[in-house]
Every structure is written in structure tokens, then in C-alpha cells.
Amino acid sequence: MPQRTTIHHLPDDLLARCLAPLPQEDRFTSAALVSKLFHAAAARPERLSLRIDDVSGTAAALRRLRALQPWLLSHGASLQELELCCQLWGAEAASLLDGCLLAVTGGSNGSLLRLQLNSSIDGANFSLSGWASLRCPRQLTVRVPGKLQLFISLEGACQLRRLELAARGYEVGGAARLPPSLTKLVCRYSTMWAVPKSSGNLHDLQVGNLSCLRSLTLGGFGTGEDGPVGADGPLGGLSALHALQHLALVECRHASWLPAAAPHLTSLQVLEIEHAAWSQVADSVQASLQLLPQLRGLWLNAEFDGPEVFSAAAASLSSLQWLCLLSRDGELRLPGGPWQRSLCRLVLGPEVAAASVPFLQGLARLQHVTLPWPPSMTGAGQRHWRAFFDWAAHHPSLRRLDWLPEQEGFAYEFSMSPAAANAMVQLARMRPELQAECVEDTREQEPIFKVLAEWA
């Protein structure tokens, strides 16, 4: 009888790759207990996530950080992913952390693909200057509560594709340059700890030299003392980003530079406005929309001040395929226009969806509607809801209607009213081919979020 082939016959490298997607805790506490072979594969230092804090005392945490550096020097060549979360205080912790990062970036020999640093060493400045000879990783994330310093060029990091920076302030030298290989750049002000400090001269980064850049996210500009922003954007050279496909403004309080840059962003497909004060960015955004007729996706999650949110600029986007508008304003109604001929996917607050039935009736290509929270059908809007469900029952192109459960803190809670639940049941009976359901995590399942995930 021929010998049966089992998973234990897999080569060591292939078995390690099979176990790599498991969470680190599961690899070390479950998979490693299956057999000696599994133990060896699970313990390989290819993916490592470390959290060092002072829960057990500052002295013990510093000892762990000191012991980490020689380990990284010995095993850095095997590391492919490293996530390091350091929650300590003081200059000694900052110095030890710098040593650990230099050990892994200097000893990885080009194998490190992803490095993420989350530091909570308050008051300490963090410098990227020691990484001038960095050849890897392909993805680098640095989040610090203090000031992030960059005085030299990182153009030598020729494999770096995605760079995410978050800090309370930035200090940039005249020689500072980012790697031309970047396809995604995120630059945020961290407002979690305190009001952002002055940006210094972020404009010197001149992102216009990044000819491969496809996605740019700017976060927190205008929330603190980040200084004046020129017509070419807060990082400089935005009008030269002819390959840019995705632009996101997160928690920004001004975008006066956007209309000047918009005519040059000829490849832009998706514009995303997240958690912005609409009254402060509305004029700039709407002026820019008139100059971006090629947009395929528009994402708006802002503090709207009233029903007059959209002008003819948004409605004239004749190539727009999907729209995400997160608002609970029942007075907000979407206007008709050329975009009704192209829209095929909507994510709308239930209140906006119910109040915009005349707009929905003109969407001949609409196939999928998502409600980011359950409809309630209570109060004065019941008449609108009856019209909405009647529209859903008869709109020929509609194939799917779904909604997310209400989120309470960190848990989801299904909180649809009985009237809305009954309306959904009646809709399912009238149109059995229509897929109507509650989904748990739209960000993982739906096409719009997958589109955004290309740049995330």
C-alpha cells in the first residue's frame, strides 16, 4: 500500500507560509502544539507582533526592550513583518527603541516587507534620519505622539511602496526627500494626544516628484497650528501628481488649495472627504468637483450644516459610478443631474435615502444600495419610508438592498424597528429575486470598500 501523504510532508517553508496568516497568539499557543514540525514552523520569526508597556513596571519593560535588540540583530534576516507597539516614557526608552529599529532595518537583508511602529513615548522626537540606507520594507508605518523629524533623503529606500506617517508635528529639512517608488502616502496629524503642533516646512517634501504615487491621504490639516498652505497643497507639488487615482482628506479644516490642483489631477478616480467640517471645506470641494469630471467614486462623511449640501457641481459628474454619503439629516435630498445616468452603487444614510426617492427613480443603472445603519421608520418620515420601499419593490435595475447593524461602542447591535422589519419582509415577498439582508461588515464584503482597499 502506498504511503499516505499528509500535511506533515509539506516542505518547511511551505508549512510556515500556511501558518503565517494565523494571528500570532494562535500560532504560538495552538498551532505550535500540534507537533514538533508545527512548533518549528510556527516559531519561525517571519511575522512578529510585539507590545511593550509598563503594566508590569517600567524597569521590566526596559529590560524587555534591551533584550529585543540583540534578538533582532540575530533574526532580522528572517523577518518579513514586524509590528512593534511601545508604550513607555522617557529618553532611555526612546533611545532603546531607535536601536531596535536600526537593528531590524540594518539586518533584514532585504526580506522585511512590512514594518509598523506605534510609539507612545510622549514628548520624545522620533527621527527617520537613521534609515538613510534603508532598502526595505515595502510598507512602513510610523505613528508617534511627538514630533517626527526628517532631515535627509530616503530615496535609497527603493523598495518602499506604502508609507504612513502620523505625528503631533513634523520637522523637515531642506534635503528631505521621499522614495520615488512610493505608490501610497498617508500623512496625518495625530490628534489623539493633543492639539497638533506646527508642521514646520512639510512643503519641502515636494510629493510632486513621486511619479508612481496612486493614493494620497492627508489627515488633520487645519486642526492645529500647521501653518499656511499654498496653492500647491500642504506637501508641495500636488499639481504634478498626474498618476494620482485616490485622494482622501481626513479631519481637515481647510482645502483652499484643492481647486488649483484639481485641473492637473487628470487620473483622479476617487475623492474621499472623511470627518470634515463641511462649512469650512464645502466651497473648495464643490469648486474642485467642477474640475474633476472623470471621477468614478465620491465618498463624503462630514458634518453637514443643512440640506443644501450638493450644488450642480456634484450632480454634473457624468462618469460617477458610486456615491457614499454618510448623513442622518432627513432634510437632505439628492438633486437630479447627469450623474443619475451613471450611478450604479449607493451607500446612503437611511434618512437621506428615504427623502431622495425622486432622485432614486431616475437611476436607470442602479443595482446596489447599502444603508450604513438600520432604517427606523419612526416619526415624521414614515411617509418617505413607504415611498422608498415602494420604489425598491418596482425599480427594475435594483438587485441588492442591505444595511449594517447599529454599532454600540465596539459591538454591533441589531436595532431595526418592527415597522422597518415588516417592510423588509413584504419587500422580500414582492421581489424574491431581490437580495435584501443585514451584513455584519460591509468594509470587507462590498465592492465600494474593495475599491478603497486597493489604496488602503
Establish whether the linkage from the previous residue to 259 is cis, with ω within 30° of 0.
no
Q: Are 170 and 200 in contact (CB under 8 A)?
A: yes
Rounded to the nearest 10 degrees, what angle do helices 58-75 and 91-107 cross at?
10
From the list 166, 120, 122, the residue with the least C-alpha distance to 140 is 166
Q: Are 421 and 386 in contact (CB under 8 A)?
A: no
**181-184, long-range: CB < 8 A, 24+ apart:** 181/157, 181/212, 182/210, 182/212, 182/213, 183/212, 183/213, 183/214, 183/215, 184/213, 184/214, 184/215, 184/216, 184/455
Tens digit of pLDDT at every position of the chain (456 positions): 456 777 777 777 777 777 776 776 677 677 777 888 877 777 676 777 777 776 556 787 788 888 887 877 777 677 777 777 877 666 777 777 777 777 776 655 556 777 777 776 655 677 766 565 566 678 888 888 777 888 777 777 778 889 998 888 788 877 788 888 899 999 888 654 444 444 455 666 778 888 899 999 988 775 444 444 555 566 667 888 889 999 998 887 778 888 888 999 999 999 998 877 777 888 888 889 989 999 999 998 876 765 555 666 778 899 999 999 888 777 788 888 899 999 999 999 888 898 899 999 999 999 999 988 877 766 656 778 888 989 999 999 999 998 877 654 444 444 667 777 788 888 888 898 998 887 765 454 455 555 555 544
Q: How many C-beta neighbours within 10 Å does residue 14 have?
A: 10
C-alpha cell at 193: 494626544
DSSP 405: P
Q: Which residues contact 253 (CB under 8 A, 6 or more apart)?
A: 221, 222, 223, 276, 277, 280, 281
pTM of the model: 0.82
